[in-house]
Amino acid sequence: MGRSCPAEPSCLPAEPAEPRLALPQGIDGSLILVPALLALGVLAVGLPIFLAATRTEAVLGAVAGFLVAADLLMAVSFVSRS
């Protein structure tokens, strides 16, 4: 039933894994992420405006693109923080 485990290296719990994303702290890490996020934001906002048939669709597309870009920024900052 219960298996006893002597204090051997094979029975000890594994060490925590290294982070998936290693960024420098401070302004250096920000300078690495900003160009990619800016490009994603420009595409997310600019594409609906370019493809819109009317002004109303262009405005709504820009608002939706802005929200998508904000979500991407939040997701990247969440991943880089943990």
Q: Is the pLDDT of residue 2 over 70?
A: no
Residue identified by tokens 């960024």 is: 23
Instruction: Kindly report the pTM of this predicted structure.
Output: 0.48
pLDDT tens-digit series, residues 24-49: 777 777 777 778 778 877 887 788 88
- Phi/psi for 54 (5° steps) reads -130, 170
pLDDT, averaged across the chain: 75
3-state secondary structure the chain: CCCCCCCCCCCCCCCCCCCCCCCCCCHHHHHHHHHHHHHHHHHHHHHHHHHCCCHHHHHHHHHHHHHHHHHHHHHHHHHHHC
Contact present, 38 and 76 (Cβ < 8 Å)? no
